[in-house]
Amino acid sequence: MKVSFKVNGKSETVSVSADTPLLWVLRDTLGYTGTKFGCGKALCGACTVHLNGRAVRSCQTQIGSIAGQDVTTIEGLGGNHKVQRAWEALDVPQCGYCQPGQMMSASALLSTNKNPSDEDIDAFMSGNICRCGTYPRIRAAIKAAAKMS
Amino acid sequence: MEIIAKNEARRDFLKVSGSAAGGLALAFYLPAARMAQAADGGSPNAWVKIAADNTVTIMVARSEMGQDVYTSMPMLIAEELEVDVNAIKVEFAPPAEVYINSLLGGQLTGGSTAVRDAWEKLRKAGASARMMLVAAAADNWGVDASKCSAANAMIKGPGGKTATYGSVAAKASTMEVPKEVPLKPASQFKVIGNTKQKRLDTAMKVRGTAGFGIDTRIPGMKYAAVVMAPMMGGSLISYDDTRAKNMPGVHSVVQYSRGVAVVAKDYWTAKKAVALLDPQWDAGPNADLDMTGLWSKMEDASNSAGAVFRESGDADQGLAQAAKMITAEYRLPFQSHSPMEPQNTFAHVTADKALIITPTQFQQLVPHVVAGATGLKPEQVEVQTTFLGGGFGRRVEVDYAIDAAEISKASGEPVMMIWSREDDMTHDSYRPGGIYKFTAGVDAKGKLTALKFKSTSPSISSRLFPSIVKDGIDPFALEGIDNFPYLADAGMNFSYVMHDTGVQVGYWRGVSHNLNAVALECFIDELATNAGADPIQYRIDMLDMGSTKHAWSGLSAGVPVGARMKTVLEELRKKANFGKKMPAGKGQGIAVMEGYNSIVGIVAEVSVDESMDVVVDKVTTVVDAGTLIHPDQALAQVQGCINFGQGAGLISEITVKNGIVQQNNFDGYRAVRINETPKVMDVHFIKSDGAPGGLGEPATAVIVPAIANAIHAAVGKRVRTFPALPENVAAG
C-alpha cells in the first residue's frame, strides 16, 4: 500500500506492505540509517524515534498505522540539539550503536520533564539497553542537557 | 612452530606460524598481493598518508567497537608525528601484514592488546614519518635536518623557512626510512595523557552518521534474512520455498551451508518470507542436551585428574599438615555476547572477486574463509571493516561473513545479510560455563599454606586455534589463576580439566579471567572470613612480592605484580572507606586481579532485601594500568567493564534444552539497564609512567567477586552458583 507521512519535516510517500515496521521503512526504503535495529521486539530501544513528538519503538510501529503523522529520527534532531551537545561534551558513546535510540528517548524525556531526577531518568530510560555500559554518562548528559538552553 | 588454525573444518585451513615466547603469538601468512599496501605519493609509511593540501590521514588497524582505538591509536602517532590529532582524518586499515598485532600474531582486535601492541610501534611510526618529512624539507633547503624542527604539520628551517607536511609529503615517501628512531620522554608528552582529549568518533555517533556494518548501502544491493538450525549441531533436511518465492519483493530463496536465506528488496520482506519456509531439521548430536545433563557430566569430569599447569612445593603434604582444610566449589554459567548490532555482512561475490564489508574483529581471517567458501583466492577478496556495534569477542568469529558470501554467491546478488536478534543470540559462540574447585590448607591463624585448584570447562582454543592446545592445556583457559598472586608456602597444585559440553564456546570479554579469577577472589574472601581478618589486609599479607615469573601468563605481562597489587589495595581501602559500618542488609565486598598487565581492585557496596534481590549501590575501583593514553576513555572502559561484568554476575545466563538455546532476546537474556547500574561509580587510576596495561576487559572479572563478597558481608550468604539470582543467593 501507499503511505504518506513526514520524516524530519519532509513529506514522504512509500509503497510497502502495511505491516512493515517503521524501522525498516526508515532504514531500507528511505535511507535513514541512524535509526538502529537491535531486537525487533521493543526490548532494547535502539530503534527509538519520535512519533508526533513522543518516543516510540519504530520496530513495533507499523507503517500502515501512521499515515499523515510526523516522525523525527536522530537525523532530524539536527546535530545541535541540547541532548546531542551534552552527549558530545561528555563523550557518552562507546561503540555508539544504541546511542541514537538513547538520545531520542532522552530528548523525549526532556520535552516533558525539564529537570528530571535520577528516578525519572531511570524510569524513562530503562527501555534503552547499552551493552557498552555508558549509563553513568547518559545520566550525567541528560542532567547537563537539562541545564542547557 | 607451525600450526593450522581451523575456522570451521569444512571451510578453510589457514596456515599460521609463530612462537609462544612471552605469550601467544600466531603469525598469519597472507598472500603477498594482499600484504602490499599501494604506497601513494604521500605515504611515508603504512600508518600515515599526507595529501598535498596538508590533510593528514592516520590508519587505524584495530576494530573500533567502543574501546576508543579510533582515537587512542592516532594519539600515539600524532604525539610523534607532530600533528594536531583533532585535525586528522582516520581510516580503517585493510588486512595487511604491516598491521598485524604482534601480541596476537594476526590482524585481530582482542585480548586488550590494541594499545599495548601499539605503544612503541605507533609512536615510532609517527616519529619515523616526521623524520622523513623533515629530511625531505631539509634536502630541499640544502640544510642539515638537525637544523629543522616540526610542529603542527609544519617544518621550520633556518632563516625562517617553513614548509607544510603536504608540500614535502611526496618527496618524504622516497626518503630513506630512519634506522634509529628516538622517542620523546614521557615528560614531553602533549597528546598522550591529555585529559581533555575528546573522542574523534563522537560527532558521528551522536548524529547517527557513523557507518556500522548494518548501515552499509551499495547501489543495487538486496537484503537477506536467514533461518538456521535452532538446535546446536542441527542440519537442514528440507524446506518448501513455494510461498516465499511468491511473495512480492522476493528475489530468490537460496540454501547455504547452515541454513536457508531469502533475498529480497528489503529486510522486512525477506524476514516475512523466511517465516514461510517450513524448514525441517535433523537435530544432530545435541538433541538431548539440557542443563541437568550438562552440569552432571561436567561434575563427573571435574572428578577426573586434570592437567597440572602450576605447581610448587607439595600441595598434598601441605594440606595434610594444615591446621584446617577449607573447600569450596563454584559454578559459573554460559553467557552470550549479544552486542547491540546483530551480526551482519555485506557481500558481493562474482566470478573473479568478492567485496566483503563487515563489522569484524578479525579482518585478516576474512579473505581466507571467504575464499574457502566461494572458491576464490584470498587475494581476490577485498575486505572493508566498518564501525562495530559492540564486539565483546563475538566478532572474532567470522561465521557471519562466510554466510553472507555464500548467500551472495548462490543468489548472484550483492547482499546485505542481517541476523535477527533471535538468530544472533541462539547462534553465538558462548562464554563457557565451568566448575571451579578449591581445597585450601590454613594454619592456626587462618593463613593460607597450601592450595589445590581445579577448573573444569570447555576449551575455546581447541576449536579456533587447536595447535596451541597441548597436553590437555588450553592456555586461554588458565587466565585469571595462572598468575595467582599470593603465597602458599607448603605447596600449590593447579589443574585444568578440558571438558566439551556440546555448546560451542568462544572468547567473551575477559575470557577466562571471568571464570578463574571470579572463583578465586570469592574463595580468598572465604579464607579471610575464616581467619577473621580484614579481607584487604588478608590479601596484602599474603601477596607474593618476589620475582617469580610465570611460565604461562596468557595475555598478561607474566611478571610479578605483588608490589603494584599492594599499592592498589591500599589505595582502594582509602578510596572506598573499606570497613566502614554498614546498615543491616548492606555490605561491602572487595576483589582484586591482575589481567592484561593491569591491576584492578574493586569494592562493591550492595543492598540485599529479604527476597535476596541484590542492588549494587556503589562501586569504587582503583586501577593501575600504567600510562594512560586517553585518560577519559580509559575511564569509560572501566565503567563499561563494570556494567558488562555486573550482568554476568547478577542476572545473565544462557541455558540449553533439547540442544536449543532457551534465551533468544533481551527478555530471556537480561542485560543491565540504566536503573540497575550503580548510582555511584568511582574510578581512580594509580599515577604511573609504566607501559600501558590493557583496559578493555579486566574489570569485567573483578566486579563479579566484589559483588558476591559484598552479598556475603550484607546477609551472610556465599554465592557459589552464578549468576547471583535470588535463588542462588538464598542457597549460599
- Give pLDDT tens digits for B344-377: 999 999 999 999 999 999 999 999 999 999 999 9
Does B418 touch chain A if contact means CB atoms closer than 8 Å? yes
Residues A8 and A72 in one domain: yes
Q: Do B214 and A36 touch (CB under 8 A)?
A: yes
Q: Do A122 and B675 touch (CB under 8 A)?
A: yes
Looking at per-residue pLDDT, the higher value among B41 and B696 belongs to B696
Residue with cell 542436551: B289
Task: Give the mean pLDDT of B559-578.
Answer: 94
Q: According to CATH, where is 3.90.1170.50 located in chain B?
A: 218-290
pLDDT for residue B554: 56
pLDDT for residue B525: 98
Q: Is the pLDDT of residue B18 over 70?
A: no
Residues A63 and A121 in one domain: no
Mean pLDDT of chain B: 92
ipTM of the complex in this document: 0.98
Residues with Cβ within 8 Å of residue B596, at least 6 apart in sequence: B111, B112, B113, B116, B555, B556, B693, B694, B695, B696, B697, B698
CATH level 2 (architecture), domain B33-179: 2-Layer Sandwich (3.30)
Indicate the Cα dihedral angle B52, B54, B55, B58, nearest 10°.
100
Q: Do B266 and A16 touch (CB under 8 A)?
A: yes
Q: How far is B406 from chain A (nearest CA, A)?
A: 22
Taking only the tens place, the pLDDT of each residue in B157-166 is 999 999 999 9
- Torsion angles phi and psi, residue B573, rounded to 5: -55, -40
Does B645 touch chain A if contact means CB atoms closer than 8 Å? no
Residues A143 and A108 in one domain: yes
Q: Do B674 and A99 touch (CB under 8 A)?
A: no
Q: Is the pLDDT of residue B594 over 90?
A: yes
Distance (Å, whole) CA B534 – CA A40: 49
Residues with Cβ within 8 Å of residue B548, at least 6 apart in sequence: B560
Task: Give the mean pLDDT of B486-502.
Answer: 97
pLDDT for residue B551: 58
Residues A34 and A87 in one domain: no
All three cell numbers of B65: 567497537
Q: Residue B388's closest chain A neighbor by CA?
A: A95
Work out the angle at residue B80's Cα, subtended by the Cα atoms of residues B79 and B83, and round it to the nearest 5 degrees.
Answer: 65
Q: Sign of torsion, CA B358 B413 A22 B272? A: negative
Contacts of B672 in chain A (CB under 8 A): 133, 135
What is the extent of the structural domain holding A140? 78-147
Q: Do B267 and A27 touch (CB under 8 A)?
A: yes
With cut-offs at 50, 70 and 90, classify the pLDDT of residue B19.
very low
Neighbours of A77 (CB within 10 A): 22
Is residue B683 exposed (0-12), middle (13-18) or buried (19+ Cβ within 10 Å)?
buried
With cut-offs at 50, 70 and 90, classify the pLDDT of residue B8.
very low
Residues A20 and A69 in one domain: yes
Last residue of a domain, one of A45, A76, A107: A76
Helix (H) or strand (E) holding B452: strand B448-457
Q: Do A93 and B201 touch (CB under 8 A)?
A: yes
Q: How far is B44 from chain A (nearest CA, A)?
A: 31
Q: How far is A87 from chain B (nearest CA, A)?
A: 7
Q: Are the C-beta atoms of residues A81 and A106 closer than 8 Å to each other?
A: no
With cut-offs at 50, 70 and 90, classify the pLDDT of residue B299.
very high
Angle between helices B631-650 and A135-147 (to 10 degrees): 120
Residues A65 and A41 in one domain: yes
Distance (Å, whole) CA B423 – CA B421: 5
Residues A72 and A19 in one domain: yes
Work out the angle at residue B389's Cα, subtended by the Cα atoms of residues B674 and B502, and round it to the nearest 5 degrees.
Answer: 90
Does B700 touch chain A if contact means CB atoms closer than 8 Å? no
Does B673 touch chain A if contact means CB atoms closer than 8 Å? yes
Q: What is B303-357 written as a DSSP string?
A: TS--EEEEEEE-HHHHHHHSSEEEEEEEEE-BB----SS--EEEEEE-SS-EEEE
pLDDT for residue B428: 98
Does B195 touch chain A if contact means CB atoms closer than 8 Å? no
Does B679 touch chain A if contact means CB atoms closer than 8 Å? yes
Domain B218-290: top CATH class: alpha beta
With cut-offs at 50, 70 and 90, classify the pLDDT of residue B27.
very low
Residues A29 and A61 in one domain: yes
Does A27 touch chain B if contact means CB atoms closer than 8 Å? yes
Q: Do A28 and B679 touch (CB under 8 A)?
A: no
Q: Which CATH number does the domain housing residue A15 bear?
A: 3.10.20.30
Q: Do B198 and A91 touch (CB under 8 A)?
A: yes
Q: According to CATH, where is 3.30.365.10 located in chain B?
A: 33-179, 304-336+429-730
Last residue of a domain, one of A23, A47, A76: A76
Contacts of A136 in chain B (CB under 8 A): 639, 677, 681
Residues with Cβ within 8 Å of residue B347, at least 6 apart in sequence: B354, B355, B356, B357, B370, B401, B404, B405, B407, B408, B414, B415, B417
Q: How far is B198 from chain A (nearest CA, A)?
A: 7
Does A8 touch chain B if contact means CB atoms closer than 8 Å? no
pLDDT for residue B3: 31
DSSP H helix total and E strand total for chain A: 5, 5
Does A139 touch chain B if contact means CB atoms closer than 8 Å? yes
Ramachandran quadrant class, A91 (left: phi over 0; alpha: psi -120 to 50; beta: rest): left
pLDDT for residue B210: 98
Contacts of B209 in chain A (CB under 8 A): 34
Taking only the tens place, the pLDDT of each residue in B57-116 is 999 999 999 999 999 999 999 999 999 999 999 999 999 989 999 888 889 999 999 999
pLDDT for residue B465: 84
pLDDT for residue B37: 36
Is residue B274 exposed (0-12), middle (13-18) or buried (19+ Cβ within 10 Å)?
buried
Residues A69 and A91 in one domain: no
Pick among 3.40.50.360, 3.30.365.10, 3.20.20.70, 3.30.930.10: CATH of B304-336+429-730 = 3.30.365.10
Residues A86 and A117 in one domain: yes
Q: Which CATH number does the domain housing residue A130 bear?
A: 1.10.150.120
Query: CB-side exposure of B627: number of CA atoms within 13 Å?
Result: 20
- Torsion angles phi and psi, residue A123, rounded to 5: -65, -40
Helix (H) or strand (E) holding B216: none
Residue with cell 593463613: B447
pLDDT for residue B43: 79
Taking only the tens place, the pLDDT of each residue in A116-146 is 999 999 999 999 999 999 999 999 999 999 9
Task: Give the mean pLDDT of B625-648.
Answer: 98
Last residue of a domain, one of A37, A52, A76: A76
Residue with cell 598472500: B31
* Counted domains in chain A: 2
Residues A12 and A67 in one domain: yes
Q: Do B640 and A134 touch (CB under 8 A)?
A: yes
Q: Do B215 and A16 touch (CB under 8 A)?
A: no
Residues A101 and A72 in one domain: no
pLDDT for residue B21: 27
